[in-house]
Amino acid sequence: MFFSIPMIKMVGTKSTMLMDTSMLRNKLHLSLFQEHQYFCFSNSNSLGMSKIGLKKKVKPIAPTMAILSEAEPMALAISEKPSSNTIQLMAVVTVRSVNNNNKALPNNILSIFNIPPKSNNKGAVTLQLVSTELDPRSMDAKLSNGTVLKWPEDHKVESGPYGNLNSYIVTFLVDSDFGVPGAVTVINGYDSEFYLESIDIENNVHFSCKSWVQPNTLDPQKRTFFINKAYLPYETPIALKTLREKELRQLRGDGKGQRIFSDRIYDYDVYNDLGDPDKGVEYARPTLGGQLNPHPTRCRTGRRPTKTDKNAESRTSKSESIYVPRDEEWEDIKHETVKQGKLKALLRNIAPKFLDNRTGTEGVLEINHFIKDLDSKSFLNVGGAVEDIFKFDPPKLYSRGKRNFLQDDEFGRQVLAGLNPLSIERLTVFPPVSKLDPSIYGSLESALKEEHIIDHIDGMSVQQALEENKLFVLDYHDVYLPLLDQINALDERKAYATTTIFFLTKMGTLKPIAIELALPTSKKVVTPNVDTNSKWLWQLGKAHVCANDSAVQTLIHHWLRIHACMEPLIIAAHRHLSVMHPIFKLLHPHMRYTIRANAVTRETLINAKGTTESNYTPGRYSMQLTVSAYRDWWRFDMESLPADLIRRGIAVPDASQPHGVRLLIEDYPYAADGLLIWSSIEKLVKTYVNYYYKGVDEISSDYELQSWYKEFINLGHPYHKNASWWPKLETPEDLISIIATVIWIVTAKHAMLNFGQYPYGAYVPFRPPLMRRLIPEKYDIDYSEFVMDPESYFISSLPSLFQASKFMALFSIGSAHSPDEEYVGDRKDMSSWLGEPEIIEAFNKFSMEMKNIEMEIKIRNIDPKLRNRCGVGISPYEILIPSSGPGVTGRGIPNSVTA
C-alpha cells in the first residue's frame, strides 16, 4: 500500500521528506525517485533488516507523490553520490514540538522551525552514524557521512497536550562493510534547543533518544545516542566503549560553576538553599547535611552564595526556576496541570480568607460550607461550574451530618488504612520506654500505668495482652520531645510528644485506649471519656496525636524516606550507569520527574516560611524532625515492605506464607494490598536480574553497577556511609533485593503517602495538621474557659478557617494525577528488549498481575469480614489500586515520584 506524501523536496541528488508521524506507525512503503535511481524504505513487522538497493529509474508507482522544484529549500543533504562500495541507509528522525512553559528558557522551542538556513551547517542539525565495528586501519569506530537536516521554513507547529511528533526522512551514506549502527551523534546548529524523540534506521535499528539537544553554542560537544539495546559494560561493542565512557563523564561534569537551564549535569550538594538570610534573620535556616544536621544530598545547582551567609546558597528569583538537569524537567502537560491546580487553589481560598477574621476562633467549622454538595445555607449558595471553581470536592473522611471530631473507631482505622499507616508498631513492653538520653532530657519515665488501660483490654492482664500481640502503639515521644520548647514558643503553635496505645479487638480493628501527652517538664494521660469534660480531654488528645502524625507523615515518611533518600540514588544512576546498562533501562521510568519534584519542594514547600512551615505544628523547626529521624532511625535495609513490617513488629517471617511474612493484624489494608504489589515487583526484578547476571563474578566485575551503588552510599548518604547495615552488592540476590526495594519505594509506597493526602488528610476538623492550644491545667487561666464550654475550647484549638482552606488547597494540588502519568505495569517502550522474549514476557506478566491485583483489591473492599475496609460508613481502601485517571482520585500507582 502506498501513501501520498504531504511534502517532498528534491534538489538534484539531494532529497528531503517531511511527513506526519502517524504514517510511520502503519505498515508502509516509501519510494524516493531521482533522475537515475530511487531508494526504497520498507517498514514491515518482521525483525529482519529492511532492504535497500540502488536501482535503475523506473516509472513512479505512486502518482499522487509531488515532486517539488529545485528552487525549494532542502531539509536533507547527501554530500555525495554513492560509489560502488557504498550504500544508503534511510532513517526516520522524529522531533517533538513542545510549548515549553519553563520560565528559565530564554527561547521558545517553536522558534527552531522558523530560523532561515545558514551556511556551514549553522541553522541545521548534523547527524552521523557510528558503527559497532572498528575500522581495521585506524582502529577507530566506523562512521557514516555527516547528514544535514534543516527544519523547513514553512513548517508550522500546532502543539497538542503532549506536543506533536514531526518526522523527517534522512539518508546516511555508509561503506558496504559498515556493520550495524550502534550510535548516532547529533550537532544542533540552530540557536534554540529541540527535543529529539527517536531515530529509526531502516525500521530495524532504533534509537530511543527522548532528550533535549542544545545548540552547539551552548554545548559544543556532540550529543551521542546509543542503539536501544541493553549491554552490560563488558558486552559493549568495542567501537562504542569509548563513547559510553565519554557520555558518563559529560553527565558527571566537573563539579564547578553555576548550572544553567540547558545543562544536563548530575552532581551533589547539601541542602543549603532552604533559607534566605538576606531577607532577615527570621528567614535564615541551617544547612541540612554534614554531622550537625545529617540529611541526604541533593542535585547541585552552584548558585552564588548569599551576601549574609557565604555557606548558604542564594534563592532563585521569581523569574527563574531551580536548576535540574534538562531532561528532568516536567513536560508541558504537567506544568499546565500544576498551574491549573494553583489557580483553583487560589480561587477556593478567596472567600475563606475574607471570612476568616469575621468567624472568630471557631471558624474552622465553616470549612463545611466550602465543600461541594452542602445544604442551601452555605455562604456560597451557587451551583454548576461556579460551585466547581469555588468549592472543594468532599474528602473521604468528610460526610455531611457527622460530628466535627474523629470517632474512636475511625481514629483506629486510620492508622491501618489512612494517610499514614507506616507508624503503627506492636507494643512489646508496657509502658513504652524512651530511647532519649536522660542526662539531656531528664526523667523519661512514662506516665502510662496499668490502671489506664486495664479496663479496655477485654478482661486480659496487660502481660497477657502483650504476649497475645493485642497491644499496639503510635509513639511520637522521642521525635517530638527535643523540639517542644522551641515549637511551643512559636505563635499559634502548641504541641505535645504523644504516645497512643491501641488494643486489637476480636473484630480485627484497633481501639485507642490511652494517650500520653508529654511536655519537657510534665506528662499527662487521657483515656476514653466517662463524663463531659473527660470526653473533650480525649478529643483534644486525639487531635494532638493527629497533628503529630501529620507532620511525621509529611516530613519523615513522605519527604525523607522517599523524596530525599531517592534523589541521590537517581543522581548516581545517571552519573555511573550508561543508558545502555540493563539496570538503568529497568530503573529509567521509575526515576521520572523526581529531581524536578524535589526542586519544587525546596523552592516552595520546605523552604523558610514555605507551605510546610506554615501548615504544620513544628513551623520553622519542621526540618529538624527530618534530621533527627534520618540520624537516629532511617536505614535503607529496612525500606522494603517485608523488612519494614517486621521491624515494626506488625509481621513475623513465615516461609509458609505467599509473601514470606505473616501479618499479626490480618486486616491491615495497606500491608495486605502492599504485599501483593511487593511480591509482583520482586518477581519481575528477579527474572530481569537473573537474565543478565548469571553469578557472583558478573556482579563484582560490573564496574558501572558497583560505582553507582558505592556513590549512592558515599556521596548520597555521607552521614551513614560507614554504617554496617547497608546491604552488600555481591550477588544477584543482593541486587534483586536492592532494586526491588527502590521500585517499591518510588511506586506503591510513594503513591500511598502522596495520593492519599487529600482523601484522608484534607478535612482539618478530623485531622488537624497543627494545634493552637494545649490542654489547660487547673491552675491555667484557660481552665475555666474549658470547663464552661469544652467543645468551643476544642474547636478553638484547631487551625483557623483560612488555615484549613489553605491546607485543603495544598493537598488538592499534591494529590492530583497529571494526565501524562505513567502507571506501574504500563511500560511504554520495550524496544530495548525486542530480541529478548524472556524479558518481554516478564514485563507482560507483571502488567497482567497489576490488573489482577486491582480486581483482588476490589473484592477485598466488599468483604464484610474485613472491617477496616468494608462496612457502613467505611470508605473502601483503594489507594493501592494500580490504575487511575487524572485528577484527585484516591487511587493509582505511578511509576515514579511525580509529585
Q: How confident is the model at residue 351 (pLDDT cuts 50, 70, 90)?
A: confident
Q: How far is CA 344 from CA 335, 389, 553, 760, in A?
A: 14, 6, 25, 20
Q: How confident is the model at residue 53 (pLDDT cuts 50, 70, 90)?
A: very low
User: Average pLDDT, stretch 676-704?
Assistant: 97
Q: How far is CA 834 from CA 63, 94, 133, 204, 205, in A?
A: 36, 20, 21, 10, 11
Of residues 61 and 188, more confidently modeled: 188
| Residue 751 pLDDT greater than 90, yes or no | yes
* Largest separation between any pair of C-alpha atoms in the chain: 105
Portion of the chain with pLDDT greater than 70, in percent: 84
User: Average pLDDT, stretch 127-136?
Assistant: 95
Contact between 286 and 628 under an 8 Å Cβ cutoff? The reply is: no
Q: How confident is the model at residue 377 (pLDDT cuts 50, 70, 90)?
A: very low
**Tell me, what's the pLDDT at 403?**
66
The structural domain count of the chain equals 1
Q: Which residues have a Cβ under 8 Å from the Cβ of 226 and sit 6 or more positions away?
A: 182, 183, 207, 240, 243, 244, 247, 578, 579, 580
pLDDT digit string, tens, across residues 220-233: 999 999 999 999 99
Structural element, H or E, at residue 573: helix 565-576
Contact between 895 and 826 under an 8 Å Cβ cutoff? The reply is: yes
**Tell me, what's the pLDDT at 446?**
96
Instruction: Kindly report the average pLDDT of the chain as a whole number.
Output: 86
Sign of CA dihedral 278, 279, 280, 286: negative
**Tell me, what's the pLDDT at 602?**
96
**Tell me, what's the pLDDT at 69?**
25
| Residue 239 pLDDT greater than 80, yes or no | yes
Q: How confident is the model at residue 438 (pLDDT cuts 50, 70, 90)?
A: very high
User: Average pLDDT, stretch 71-86?
Assistant: 49
Contact between 50 and 43 under an 8 Å Cβ cutoff? The reply is: yes
SS3 357: helix
Q: How confident is the model at residue 621 (pLDDT cuts 50, 70, 90)?
A: very high
Q: How confident is the model at residue 398 (pLDDT cuts 50, 70, 90)?
A: confident
User: Average pLDDT, stretch 783-788?
Assistant: 92
**Tell me, what's the pLDDT at 524?**
96
Most confident range (mean pLDDT) of 69-78, 395-404, 719-728 is 719-728
* Rounded CA separation 543/431 (Å): 22
Q: How far is CA 294 from CA 270, 480, 722, 867, in A?
A: 9, 17, 14, 41
Q: For the chain, how many residues are written?
A: 899
* 837 CB-side CA count, 13 A: 1
CA angle 317–318–323, rounded 5-degree value: 60
Provide long-range contacts, Cβ within 8 A and 24+ apart, for 448-457.
448/499, 448/501, 448/514, 448/516, 448/525, 449/525, 452/501, 452/513, 452/514, 452/525, 452/527, 453/501, 453/503, 453/513, 453/514, 453/527, 456/503, 456/511, 456/513, 456/514, 456/527, 456/528, 457/503, 457/513
| Residue 68 pLDDT greater than 50, yes or no | no
**Tell me, what's the pLDDT at 84?**
64
Q: Is residue 256 part of a domain?
A: no
Q: How confident is the model at residue 81 (pLDDT cuts 50, 70, 90)?
A: low
Of residues 384 and 832, more confidently modeled: 832
Enclosing domain of residue 102: 7-227
Of residues 44 and 722, more confidently modeled: 722
pLDDT digit string, tens, across residues 640-653: 999 999 999 999 99
| Residue 4 pLDDT greater than 60, yes or no | no
| Residue 257 pLDDT greater than 90, yes or no | yes
pLDDT digit string, tens, across residues 170-207: 999 999 999 999 999 999 999 899 999 999 998 889 99
Q: How confident is the model at residue 321 (pLDDT cuts 50, 70, 90)?
A: confident
| Residue 487 pLDDT greater than 90, yes or no | yes
In terms of Cα–Cα distance, which of 609, 604, 475 is closest to 552? 475
Cell numbers standing for residue 706: 558497583
**Tell me, what's the pLDDT at 829?**
84
pLDDT digit string, tens, across residues 589-615: 999 999 999 999 999 999 999 999 999
Residue with cell 524472556: 838
**Tell me, what's the pLDDT at 888?**
95
* Rounded CA separation 395/809 (Å): 12
User: Average pLDDT, stretch 33-54?
Assistant: 32
Q: How confident is the model at residue 20 (pLDDT cuts 50, 70, 90)?
A: very low
User: Average pLDDT, stretch 406-431?
Assistant: 96
User: Average pLDDT, stretch 496-517?
Assistant: 97
Q: Is residue 537 part of a domain?
A: no
User: Average pLDDT, stretch 750-775?
Assistant: 96
Residue with cell 532552604: 274
CB atoms within 10 A of CB 533: 12
Q: What is the pTM of this model?
A: 0.88
Query: Minimum mean pLDDT among 96-105, 369-378, 763-772: which range?
Result: 96-105
pLDDT digit string, tens, across residues 848-876: 999 999 999 999 999 999 999 998 889 99
* Rounded CA separation 47/333 (Å): 34
| Residue 102 pLDDT greater than 70, yes or no | no
CATH number at residue 177: 2.60.60.20
Q: How confident is the model at residue 165 (pLDDT cuts 50, 70, 90)?
A: confident
**Tell me, what's the pLDDT at 13?**
30
* Rounded CA separation 45/523 (Å): 73
Q: Is residue 42 part of a domain?
A: yes
User: Average pLDDT, stretch 31-46?
Assistant: 31
Q: Is residue 484 part of a domain?
A: no
User: Average pLDDT, stretch 620-633?
Assistant: 97
User: Average pLDDT, stretch 73-101?
Assistant: 66
pLDDT digit string, tens, across residues 540-585: 999 999 999 999 999 999 999 999 999 999 999 999 999 999 999 9
* Rounded CA separation 173/147 (Å): 8
Q: Between 669-692 and 732-744, two packed helices, what is the crossing angle to 10 degrees?
A: 140
Q: How far is CA 877 from CA 414, 748, 811, 868, in A?
A: 11, 14, 19, 8
| Residue 509 pLDDT greater than 90, yes or no | yes
Q: Among the residues of 778-872, which ranges form H helices?
A: 783-788, 790-797, 801-814, 837-860
* Rounded CA separation 112/71 (Å): 22
- The burial of 137, by beta-carbon neighbours within 10 Å (0-12 exposed, 13-18 middle, 19 or more buried), is given as exposed
Q: Is residue 64 part of a domain?
A: yes
**Tell me, what's the pLDDT at 361?**
62
User: Average pLDDT, stretch 811-837?
Assistant: 92
**Tell me, what's the pLDDT at 18?**
42
Q: Is residue 190 part of a domain?
A: yes
Of residues 241 and 20, more confidently modeled: 241
Portion of the chain with pLDDT greater than 90, in percent: 72
| Residue 6 pLDDT greater than 50, yes or no | no
Q: Is residue 744 part of a domain?
A: no
**Tell me, what's the pLDDT at 443?**
87
